[in-house]
Structure 1
């Protein structure tokens, strides 16, 4: 029992004396305060995420065209106790869709590096297509170097070319072409180069001397 009871004052006065407040707020009302026995809802902190793991999946032109499942290897960083980090070799099988392009991105959620207080990052894989011998990538296109004779470079003519996809094409070389000139065939760029001559016959040397004398 409280000494002396509450006397004849109203409830606001009594609670003001007990808790030092400015009046009584009904704990079960919607307007002020929380009901007894309940906590106010607070937003959960943002979940922290580990770093993304990245790498390249190298495919041939035929493999990228057909698609399928391919093995991919990478190193995953796994956090341990007391701030330690373990490098864990990983092997996973990834699905590549048919007609994939050079530079396409595959994202595997939650397969990246770990986080000591959160969830793992993602694994991001870039498709890297081998353009083939004598070819290279430039701005998303395959550039194929084709070596031709000097006479064809100057006089023009037609040359047979086997494209990186295995198909054959016949390219028309204009007169007075230059080394480095390019011709576009579908998704490929054909770049002209000079066919090297390791040895010259006496007849070829004589003809070249005549050309030099003629100002060529």
Structure 2
């Protein structure tokens, strides 16, 4: 999914007089695209150089003439008493040149508005907030000056199964309480579209994490990958039949004298200690 939200926010770096403004484009991609990398087409509204006058702004591209008001300096001086005041030439607007006859297409600006279709290479392993620069794809410069750049800001949309933390991938997998108690196996999806088989040890508790090495995200400009962490979520059964309830009751009665629930035993042991401390 690509965000087509184009930000008109421009930042003129001022590195060169007349240089076109830089542009920003916000692009939203999926986690899969961030993992594999992609090549996308985007449409950007921007000013481009007028082809009729080649960005000069004059009819048929005739070269501008030197401004007679400032003699090409772009500034004029005026004497006011003892002071000499220098200001921008009002005739040429500081450019030092004037156009005798303006281009009929761009009206003398040397630029026209146009929708540009550009190709963007998204590298594998790209992270949220990454900035991609397309040199020369910003606003056209004034009077044939160089164009600005286009900056693409990447946003990765949330995934319905995976959560990303740098190069690592996390997911929570529900496990039947029977498998958690007795042990078993479960297949989990991986971010590359494959599957991984996990062995569930007997007595697995909710919150326990299984680590799958090199099953995480691609790393930018590297052949390595992060890890994947699968968190066990032991599921309590619902809508039990009468027979299932009887079996569970038998299970409870059978284990009353056994330490089958270490977490419970540990917690209530601490509670008893707390109550004893409060009595003192």
Instruction: Please give the range of the TM-score, normalised by the shorter of the 2 chains.
Output: 0.5 to 0.7
Task: Please tell me whether the aligned partners of residues 34 and 125 of structure 2 are also in contact (alpha carbons under 8 angstroms).
Answer: no
Which of 101, 106, 125 is the matching residue for 1:101?
125
Q: Which structure 2 residue ranges, 5 or more long, are not aligned?
A: 1-13, 49-112, 217-227, 262-280
Task: Please tell me whether the aligned partners of residues 55 and 74 of structure 1 are also in contact (alpha carbons under 8 angstroms).
Answer: no
Higher normalized contact order (CA 8 Å, seq sep 6+, divided by chain length): 2
Equivalent residue number for residue 146 of structure 1: 173
Q: d(CA) in 2 for partners of 1:153 and 1:96?
A: 41
Task: Please tell me whether the aligned partners of residues 186 and 200 of structure 2 are also in contact (alpha carbons under 8 angstroms).
Answer: yes
How big is each residue's C-alpha offset from its partner over 1:64-117, in whole Å with a ceiling of 9 and x where there is no partner?
Answer: 52x553123567699xxxxxxxx98765321335xx11416522124457899x
Larger of the two Rg values belongs to structure: 1
Q: How does 1:1-216 map to 2 (within 5 A)?
A: 46-47=15-16, 50=21, 53-59=24-30, 61=32, 64-65=35-36, 67-72=37-42, 91-97=117-123, 100-103=124-127, 105-112=131-138, 120-126=148-154, 128=156, 131=159, 133-185=160-212, 186=214, 187=216, 188-195=228-235, 197-213=237-253, 214-215=255-256, 216=261
Task: Please tell me whether the aligned partners of residues 153 and 173 of structure 1 are also in contact (alpha carbons under 8 angstroms).
Answer: yes
What is the deviation of 1:121? 4.6
Q: d(CA) in 1 for partners of 2:236 and 2:44?
A: 42
Q: Give the structure-1-normalised TM-score.
A: 0.55
Task: Please tell me whether the aligned partners of residues 102 and 140 of structure 1 are also in contact (alpha carbons under 8 angstroms).
Answer: no
Q: Give the structure-2-normalised TM-score.
A: 0.44
Distance 1:145 1:73, change over 3 A: farther
How big is each residue's C-alpha offset from its partner over 1:115-138, in whole Å with a ceiling of 9 and x where there is no partner?
Answer: 99x96353134273775x422222
Q: d(CA) in 2 for partners of 1:76 and 1:149?
A: 56
Q: Which structure 1 residue ranges, 5 or more long, are not aligned?
A: 1-44, 79-86
Over the aligned positions, Cα root-mean-square deviation in angstroms equals 4.1
